[in-house]
Amino acid sequence: MRVPNNRVATRRSAAVAARTTLTSLTATVGTAGLAAAHANPGLLAEVDQHAAGVRDSLDGDRRPLTVAALAGYVEGLRDAAAEYGWTPPAEPVDWSAPDWTLTRLLAVCLLARGLDPRHLA
């Protein structure tokens, strides 16, 4: 059975959107945040705990994490945080005392780094 062309394009577009979400998050939060976490054992421990929470939320112990699952989690987290008044930082983040949402987003970046790099290209 063949998949109609319109479904293939939609699936491909969704995959591109998911990769774009994680790539953008890595650029805005992940690169500097993970560097700060590797220099600060306390922050790294917090990020690891958040990563375990994200993995639990996505059933990551029973099925492999995917780009789509992580991107969906990021979008949901951002939407929920925005409902409570959270806004992404306009300036570079002070990683010595990040808020819960930024720490959670950083945890997603850590998990995304563990995915097959071909899925993020």
Decide: 64 and 4 in contact? Cβ < 8 Å: no
- CA 87, chain centre distance (Å): 16
Tell which phi-psi region holds residue 49, choosing left (phi > 0), alpha (psi between -120 and 50) or beta.
alpha
pLDDT digits (tens, 9 = 90+) for 39-91: 999 999 999 999 999 999 998 678 889 999 999 999 999 999 999 999 988 88
| Residue 96 DSSP label | T
pTM equals 0.83
